[in-house]
Amino acid sequence: MSITAEQVKQLRERTGAGMMECKKALVETGGDLDAAAELMRKQGLAKADKKAARVAAEGVVIVEKSTDGRTAVLVEVNCETDFVAREAEFREFAAAVGKVALAGKLTDVAALGEARLPSGETVDERRRALVAKIGENISLRRVALTSSSGFLGAYLHGSRIGTLVATEGGSEDLARDLAMQVAASNPRFLSSAEVPADELARERTIAIDQMKLDPKNANKPEEMLGKIVEGKVAKVFAEQALLTQLFVKDDKLTVEKLLKSANAKVTSFTRFEVGAGIEKVKEDYVAEIQKQVEAARGAN
């Protein structure tokens, strides 16, 4: 049957798909616009499922804060390339996900995927449709919710690093400064007391081995060597614990001294960085192009 340009135009407006895909769906459904849209939706979801195993290590971090300033969420939404991460449609989706997460006070990715957007579709339905349209794997990687009875600092560095810091006492400005601190210095612990025993033991072993390799330490008393080892270990974890880090705005102050001067304390902090901990696939584009050229030659 004959498919008109107007039918193709209407289907493109409904689905956002390409002209040829729309025309093909209309042909398959005999020109039925609703049936064609449903067919394309099913085909798109199938395509999305096939892309689910592909590594998505780019994307954005969303920070969404309640109007009263007491609750906020961090959401990381991933895609495969930084090109897509900059696209308006991807960013609009990520922003909508952040709003849904805050409204539902969600802390679980699975629950977030099942939550409904204002359009009525679930977050996961919209995600899969976007995968089919854009052609890249898109995933909801993680979500974190923080509430505070005191002050809640939120900071977004570009779109790749987001932080939340909850405090008791202090001020709104202090909480935000601490959120910036966490973004810049990436602490693993609040204090050195939180360092796991196995990590302490491993770091001591490394320090002892370093001491043994240095001939300058050959004649030093055991007591002195022990103090040097503990000093080395303390220095390593001082840089990883928020309270013992130097304040980014004044390197003469530790964060702990800053908090004492403001009669405040940090009750929790969270930091998301896009792609952190994901092993990225290194593409050899030259080899890939050569492979395609050789395949084309073989076909001829």
Judge if 102 and 150 occupy the same domain: yes
Say yes or no: 101 and 32 in one domain: no
Tell me whether residue 157 is in a domain: yes
pTM for the complete prediction? 0.74
**Which of left, alpha, beta for 287 (phi over 0: left; psi -120 to 50: alpha)?**
alpha
Q: Are residues 92 and 174 in the same domain?
A: yes
Whether residues 119 and 225 share a domain: the answer is no
What one-character DSSP code corresponds to residue 243?
G
Residue for token pair 């505070």: 148
Q: Are 100 and 118 in contact (CB under 8 A)?
A: no
In the chain, the amino acid numbered 212 is K
Whether residue 63 sits in one domain with residue 24: no
- Locus of tokens 């805050």: 102
Q: Are residues 161 and 78 in the same domain?
A: yes
pLDDT classification of 236: cutoffs 50, 70, 90: confident
Which strand (E) or helix (H) includes residue 139?
strand 139-147
Report residue 46's pLDDT band, with 50, 70 and 90 as the boundaries: very low
Maximum distance among all Cα pairs of the chain, rounded to whole angstroms: 95
The confidence band for 40, taking pLDDT boundaries of 50, 70 and 90, is low
Q: Which one, of 131, 130, 137, 140, lies nearest residue 110 by Cα?
A: 140
Question: Domain for residue 80, yes or no?
Answer: yes
pLDDT of residue 234: 78
Domain residue limits at 127: 58-184+267-273
With tokens 């539902």, the residue in question is 104
The domain tally of the chain equals 3
* Cα–Cα dist 241/105, whole Å: 28
| Contact in structure between 264 and 170 (CB atoms under 8 Å) | yes
Which domain CATH number covers 179?
3.30.479.20
**Would you say residue 238 has pLDDT above 70?**
yes
Tell whether 134 is covered by a domain.
Answer: yes
Residue 76 lies in a domain: yes
**What DSSP assignment string belongs to 143-205?**
EEEEE-SSEEEEEEETTTEEEEEEEESS-HHHHHHHHHHHHHH--SBSSGGGS-HHHHHHHHH
Q: How long a stretch of residues is the chain? A: 300
Q: Is residue 294 part of a domain?
A: no
Task: Give the pLDDT confidence score for residue 79 in this predicted structure.
Answer: 95
Is 95 a member of any domain?
yes
CB contact at 8 A, 78 and 56: yes
CATH number for 18: 1.10.8.10
pLDDT at 201: 86
Give CA separation, 33 vs 6, 11, 24, 27, 97, in Å: 11, 7, 12, 10, 29
